[in-house]
Structure 1
C-alpha cells in the first residue's frame, strides 16, 4: 500500500509538470506580440522617436528607440558620461527580450544621436532632470510601468529625477554610482590611486597638478593602469565594439564641463565636483535597486549603504565587476536587475 501511494504521488507530480509545461505555440505568440510594431505610432521609424525638449534656449530634439512591448515593465536607460551615448547599454539586447521587458534607449541632449547645442548653460543637473521628465511624458511612461535605470552619471541623474518626480516611478535602479562626489573623489585618490604602480601614480598626479590633461600620456597611463582595472576589466583590445563606438561618439564639451578630464575622480573646475545628496536618500520611497562592484571606480561599500538609506532598497553586488559591470560581470548584473523588475512587478518586493 505504501508503495502504491508513493507511485501515485510521483505520477501526480509528473502529470502536473506536464500540464504546466509552456506551450511552444503560446510562447511564440507571446514573443511575436512583444516584438510587434502593429498599432504603434513609431512603426514607421522602427521604434525611434526624436522627442522635442523645451529649454530656456529653445526647443531641441533627443533620440530614443523603444525595444519590445510590455504594458507593465518599461525601462528607460540613462547612460553615463555625461556626454556618452546609449551604446554603453547595447548589451541589454542579450537579456531583456527573452524576459519580455520593454526598454528604451535614449541619448541625452548633447549626446551623439541627439541635438548637440553649443552652450554650456544647458549642461546642468537640474535641466537634465526636466529633460527626463519631458521624455517620460512623450513616451507615456507612468507609475504603473516606468522603471528608470541609470549607470554612473546616469545613476546620478536617476537619483535627482527620483528626488523630484518619484511619484511617476514604479522602480529605480542606481547602477555603479555613489551619492557623493566628494566621497567618490576621496575613494579614487586615496584608495584606488595608491594601488597603482607608485611611479605611474606619481606621474599621473604630477600631470593633474600641472593641469596637463591634454597630454596624450595622461590618457594612455589611465587607460593602461586604471581603466582596464576599474572601468572595464578586460585588455583594451578586448573591449566590446559598442563601448569603443560610444567613446568615439562622446561629446567632450559636456563631459569635461561636468565631469572633468577622466574617470579618475572629478578634475579641475567640473561643475559636478560638489554634488552630494547623502542626506536626501531617506526621502526615496520608490522600490530601489543599488548596484555596486568589487573593482568599481565607485566604493561598493558606500553603494551598499545607499541601499539601506532609501526606504525600500535592495543591494546587488557584482564580485567580478568594475564600473561597467554590465559587461565584466554580466550574468550577475542582469540576473539581479531582472529579478528586481520581476519582484516589483509581481508585488513581491
Structure 2
C-alpha cells in the first residue's frame, strides 16, 4: 500500500495542510456543511462532511440503499488520511443526517443526479480533482451521474453494483438462491410470494443465511458498529419505494426494478474502476465485463469480499481504491 510519507504529491499535500481547517466556519463545524438543494418539491438541505484537503484528489462518497447513510464508509478513516486523500461523506436527500421530506416524487434517478451536481458545485469540485465512489445503489447513481456529467469528473469508482437490475435479480434467483439450504430458500420465496416481508421469521432467515454470506461475511455479533448504526438509520420509505423490501433482489413495485444501462457503459470515457467480490449479491463476472465496456476501465476483484467488501476484504479493497486514485492522479492509468 502507498504510504502518506512517500506520496508523489507530498509537495502539495503535507500532514499540516491536509488537516488544515483554517477557514473559521469549516473549523467551527469540523468540516460539516448542510448544502441547500433545489427540488421539484422545494428547497431542502443535505449533510456533507469533508475529511482532509487535497487539491488533486477529492472523493465524493455515494452511499447505497437508497436511504441508508454515509456511515457505511467510516472504515475509510483508518486508511485515507495517511494517504493524503480528501474524501467527503454525504447523506443523500431522505437519508438520516439530511432532510427527509415525505414525497415520493423526489425518489427518481434523474432527481438524485441533479442533487449530486448541486453538491459538486457547492463544494467547488471539478474535473481536475473530482472523483465519485458509489457502492450498490450509490453505484447506480454514480453511473447515471457519469452519463450526464462525466466532463466534471476526474475518475469514477463503481463498487459492488451491476449495470442491469434484471440481471441482478436473475443472479440472486438462479445463482445465489440455490446455494441456500433448500428448505430455507423455499421459505424465503414463500414469504416473498405472500408479500410477508415484515414477518420476523423472514427477516431471521435473511440475516442468518443470506446477509452473513453475501452482505457482510461475519457473524452478526461481529458486524462493525458503523454498519449497524447505518442500518439503524435506514429510511424505509425511500428504500422500499426504489429498492423494494428485501436485499434478495429488487422486488415488488420498486422503481429500480427495470433499470438497465448495459448499452450505455461504452459512453463513459473517464478512468473507471469497477469493484466486484466473490461472495457479493452482485455477479462479479458481470462487473468484470463492465470494466471492459467502459472506455478506460480497470477491474478490482475481492476474493474474500461480499457486498460490503470494504469491511470483509479490506486488504484487497482499500489498497485497490488507493492505487486507482494515485494512478489517475499521476497519469499512470
TM-score by shorter chain over 0.5: yes
> Is residue 132 of structure 2 the alignment partner of residue 138 of structure 1?
no
Partner of residue 48, structure 2:
64
Partner of residue 180, structure 2:
196
Write the distance in 2 (CA, Å) between the matches of 1:270 and 1:42. 39
Q: Match for 1:309 among 290, 293, 296?
A: 293
Partner of residue 320, structure 1:
304
C-alpha deviation, 1:106, in angstroms? 0.2
- Output one character per residue of 1:196-215: Cα deviation in whole Å (capped at 9) or x when no partner: 00000000000101111111
> Is residue 264 of structure 2 the alignment partner of residue 280 of structure 1?
yes
Write the distance in 2 (CA, Å) between the matches of 1:315 and 1:183. 19
> Is residue 136 of structure 2 the alignment partner of residue 152 of structure 1?
yes
TM-score, structure 1 as length reference: 0.92
2:14 alignment partner, SS class: helix
1:145-294 aligned at under 5 Å gives the runs 145-294=129-278
Write the distance in 1 (CA, Å) between the matches of 2:226 and 2:198. 25
- Output one character per residue of 1:170-195: Cα deviation in whole Å (capped at 9) or x when no partner: 00000000000000000001100010
Instruction: Calculate the aligned-residue CA RMSD, in Å.
Output: 1.3
Q: Which runs of 4+ in 1 moved over 4 A?
A: none
- Output one character per residue of 1:229-272: Cα deviation in whole Å (capped at 9) or x when no partner: 00000000000000000010000000000001111001110000
1:43-62 aligned at under 5 Å gives the runs 43-62=27-46
1:19-34 aligned at under 5 Å gives the runs 30-34=14-18
1:87-166 aligned at under 5 Å gives the runs 87-166=71-150
TM-score, structure 2 as length reference: 0.96
> Is residue 317 of structure 2 the alignment partner of residue 333 of structure 1?
yes
Q: Match for 2:60 among 64, 76, 100?
A: 76
Write the distance in 2 (CA, Å) between the matches of 1:57 and 1:153. 22
Structure 2, gaps ≥5 residues long? none
1:292 alignment partner, SS class: strand
Write the distance in 2 (CA, Å) between the matches of 1:214 and 1:41. 44
Write the distance in 2 (CA, Å) between the matches of 1:115 and 1:330. 32
C-alpha deviation, 1:124, in angstroms? 0.6
- Output one character per residue of 1:261-307: Cα deviation in whole Å (capped at 9) or x when no partner: 11100111000000000000000000000000000000000000000
C-alpha deviation, 1:30, in angstroms? 1.6
Structure 1, gaps ≥5 residues long? 1-20
Write the distance in 2 (CA, Å) between the matches of 1:314 and 1:78. 20
Write the distance in 2 (CA, Å) between the matches of 1:321 and 1:143. 31
Q: Return closer, same or farther for 1:325/1:97 CA change in 2, 3 Å cut-off.
A: same
Count how many residue pairs are aligned between Structure 1 and Structure 2: 325
Write the distance in 2 (CA, Å) between the matches of 1:277 and 1:137. 26
Partner of residue 69, structure 2:
85
C-alpha deviation, 1:43, in angstroms? 2.0
Larger radius of gyration: 1
Partner of residue 9, structure 1:
none
Write the distance in 1 (CA, Å) between the matches of 2:24 and 2:197. 47
Write the distance in 2 (CA, Å) between the matches of 1:187 and 1:275. 15
